[in-house]
């Protein structure tokens, strides 16, 4: 049945979405939306800033153009009056610089009106330069002393024409300057508008992401909480004695993820097996009455009855253990820590598989301690720093056979009746020790809890042999009965307790070591003992 369950959940895992995959998909989607939102915003912002920078460059180029044009016009005046070659060289240098900035101004054109104004400006500059060329020719003739009066009149005429053009260029300069300044102010307004829009966009994006996150959180929470609530309700029904009427746990209104489906399937499988075992026990009980009437001293029948009783006590442990574990995981799920809940469910599933595979069977002490480590981890997650768990193990007799789930109730009893109410400094110690002289292995669980009086402890020991205690209680009485049924009188179940000091429960079982191992065991005892903190 366990192999069939494993095959079923393996196929289901390929077809359904796990909680981890669902969370990963949500995070990737959120990251992609945030990246696209920022890329879109940055792209628009860069375009607006680029346009603004171009307009600023245009106004700078226009100012530089007019500066050199004005300088050139001044040198024209000096040249027409003095005719010095040095004035002409400086004039030509200003002319080159003016054309350089005029070309840059044209190369940055985007506005049609601005483009037309620049074109008009270039036409005026060309007319101005034509007159300048006439002045150059006239000045050359002056140097050759030809027709002085006529040449001077022509120079004066061309100079006046150039000054008229200069005034027109100045008007065009002011018009261009105002147009570019208007573009700059418009660009600045667009930048401010874009900044406001960016903040609005960012707020809208955050609201959208928060909304999506709340939706996903609610969906994931329902997929975890609904199955757990159904399992808790089923466990309460079973503990109240309605196991015979119980059928299956059905998850309604939500499709659980892989991990929760695994837990539900394991629970249903375990309950089915428990019911079959109970049915077998009832049949064996009927056979027991008949066989006792016919052959009370038959050893084979006695062994069968002991085995049946051991299975019954073993099965009695599982719903109780499952209910307490699910109750602890449900509290974690209510806190909204999905990753931690999934990890706890994984550990719980391992413990359930262990109980299903070895129900009514014996296991090695090493295997039992390994599974106890998983249970201790769950309790560490529940109590945090309130309780410290410590293991001190002598591995020489860990291959001894013990009933399945015999240590977990002892640790749970230490928590419930010992240090569970402590807010800090609670300690539980799990210890194994081998006595070479008596060839007995001791397994003990001790705590520093409230303890109990000697009278209360003696009363509790007497109750262990009470039929009511054996059938109604599932803690220490259950472990005591399983030890007695499994080992007979060869094992010893003992309790020690001191009020306000703590309680220690010990189980001593026979395990004779081979002679050759006994010879070296005493010399290597310190190497065989391992002590570690479960944290």
The per-residue pLDDT for range 473-527, each reduced to its tens digit, is 456 887 888 888 888 888 999 999 999 899 999 999 999 876 434 433 433 443 3
For strand 426-435 and strand 387-394, is the pairing parallel, antiparallel, or unpaired? parallel
Q: Between these two residues, 319 and 131, which has the higher pLDDT value?
A: 131
Rounded CA Rg of the chain: 48
What does 96-146 look like in DSSP terms, one character per residue?
HHHHHHHHHHHHT---HHHHHHHHHHHHHHHHHHHHHHHHHHHHHHHHTT-
pLDDT in the model for residue 65? 82
pLDDT in the model for residue 111? 60
Residue 171 class from Cβ within 10 Å (0-12 exposed, 13-18 middle, 19+ buried)?
A: exposed
Q: How far apart are CA 127 and CA 188, in angstroms?
A: 37
* DSSP at 417: I
3-state SS assignment for residue 497: strand
**For residue 401, pLDDT beyond 80:** yes
Please check whether residue 366 is in contact with residue 399, taking contact to mean a CB–CB distance below 8 angstroms: yes
pLDDT in the model for residue 5? 44
3-state SS assignment for residue 209: helix
What is the reported pTM? 0.42
Highest mean pLDDT among 214-223, 235-244, 292-301, 480-489: 480-489
State phi, psi for 442 to the nearest 5 degrees.
Answer: -110, 130
For residue 61, count other CB atoms closer than 10 A to its CB: 20
C-alpha torsion sign, points 81, 87, 92, 96: negative
pLDDT in the model for residue 446? 95
* Residue that the structure tokens 């499709």 belong to: 255
**For residue 422, pLDDT beyond 60:** yes
Which two three-digit tokens encode residue 479? 């472990």
Q: How far apart are CA 142 and CA 151, in angstroms?
A: 7
Highest mean pLDDT among 21-30, 45-54, 206-215, 252-261: 206-215
pLDDT in the model for residue 12? 46
Among 34, 187, 46, 163, CA closest to 110: 187
pLDDT in the model for residue 186? 73
Please provide the average confidence, as pLDDT, over all residues in the chain: 76
- Among 151-155, 257-261, 322-326, 461-465, the range scoring the smallest mean pLDDT is 322-326
Collect all residues with Cβ–Cβ distance below 8 Å to 144 and sequence separation of at least 6.
none
Q: How far apart are CA 176 and CA 107, in angstroms?
A: 15
Q: What is the mean pLDDT of residues 456-469?
A: 74
What does 7-74 look like in DSSP terms, one character per residue?
HHHHHHHHHS--HHHHHHHHHHHHHHHHHHHHHHHHHHHHHHHHHHHHHHHHHHHHHHHHHHHHHHHH
pLDDT in the model for residue 160? 85
Highest mean pLDDT among 46-50, 95-99, 341-345: 95-99
Q: Between these two residues, 374 and 351, which has the higher pLDDT value?
A: 374
- pLDDT tens per residue, range 147-186: 566 777 777 888 888 888 888 888 877 877 777 777 777 7
pLDDT in the model for residue 144? 63
State phi, psi for 257 to the nearest 5 degrees.
Answer: -75, 175
For strand 362-364 and strand 426-435, is the pairing parallel, antiparallel, or unpaired? unpaired
3-state SS assignment for residue 402: strand
* Residue that the structure tokens 């070479």 belong to: 436
3-state SS assignment for residue 10: helix
């Amino acid at each position: 049945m366990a192999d069939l369950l494993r095959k079923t959940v393996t196929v289901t895992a390929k077809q359904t979405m796990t909680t981890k995959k669902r969370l990963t998909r949500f995070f990737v989607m959120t990251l992609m939306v945030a990246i696209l939102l920022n890329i879109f915003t940055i792209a628009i912002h860069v375009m607006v800033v680029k346009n603004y920078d171009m307009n600023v460059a245009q106004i700078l180029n226009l100012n530089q153009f007019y500066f050199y044009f004005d300088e050139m016009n001044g040198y024209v005046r000096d040249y027409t009056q003095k005719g010095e070659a040095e004035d002409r060289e400086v004039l030509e240098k200003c002319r080159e610089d003016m054309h350089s900035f005029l070309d840059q101004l044209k190369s940055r054109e985007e506005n049609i009106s601005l483009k037309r104004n620049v074109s008009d400006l270039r036409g005026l500059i060309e007319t101005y330069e034509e007159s300048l060329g006439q002045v150059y020719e006239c000045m050359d003739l002056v140097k050759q002393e030809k027709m002085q009066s006529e040449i001077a009149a022509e120079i004066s005429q061309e100079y006046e024409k150039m000054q008229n053009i200069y005034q027109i260029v100045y008007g065009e300069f002011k018009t261009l300057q105002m147009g570019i300044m208007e573009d700059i102010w418009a660009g600045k307004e667009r930048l401010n508008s874009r900044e406001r829009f960016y903040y609005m966009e960012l707020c809208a994006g955050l609201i959208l992401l928060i909304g999506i996150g709340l939706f996903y959180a609610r969906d994931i929470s329902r997929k975890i909480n609904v199955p757990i609530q159904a399992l808790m309700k089923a466990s309460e029904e079973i503990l109240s004695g309605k196991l015979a009427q119980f059928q299956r746990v059905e998850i309604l209104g939500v499709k659980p993820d892989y991990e929760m489906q695994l837990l539900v399937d394991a629970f249903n499988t375990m309950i089915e097996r428990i019911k079959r075992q109970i049915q077998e026990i009832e049949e064996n009980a009927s056979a027991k009455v008949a066989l006792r009437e016919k052959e009370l001293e038959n050893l084979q029948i006695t062994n069968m009855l002991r085995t049946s009783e051991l299975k019954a006590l073993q099965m009695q442990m599982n719903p109780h253990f499952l209910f307490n574990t699910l109750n602890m995981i449900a509290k974690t799920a209510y806190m909204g820590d999905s990753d931690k809940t999934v990890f706890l469910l994984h550990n719980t599933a391992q413990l359930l598989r262990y109980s299903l595979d070895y129900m009514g069977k014996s296991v090695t002490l090493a295997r039992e301690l390994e599974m106890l480590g998983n249970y201790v981890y769950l309790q560490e997650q529940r109590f945090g720093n309130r309780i410290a768990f410590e293991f001190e193990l002598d591995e020489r007799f860990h291959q001894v056979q013990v009933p399945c789930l015999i240590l977990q109730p002892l640790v749970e009893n230490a928590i419930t009746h010992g240090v569970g109410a402590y807010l800090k400094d609670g300690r539980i110690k799990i210890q194994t020790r081998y006595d070479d002289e008596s060839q007995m292995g001791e397994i003990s669980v001790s705590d520093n809890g409230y303890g109990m009086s000697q009278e209360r402890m003696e009363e509790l020991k007497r109750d262990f042999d009470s039929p009511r205690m054996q059938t109604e209680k599932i803690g220490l009485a259950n472990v005591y009965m399983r030890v007695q049924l499994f080992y007979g009188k060869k094992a010893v179940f003992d309790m020690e307790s001191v009020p306000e000091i703590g309680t220690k429960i010990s189980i001593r079982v026979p395990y004779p070591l081979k002679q050759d191992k006994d010879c070296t065991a005493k010399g290597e005892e310190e190497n065989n003992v391992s002590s570690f903190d479960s944290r």
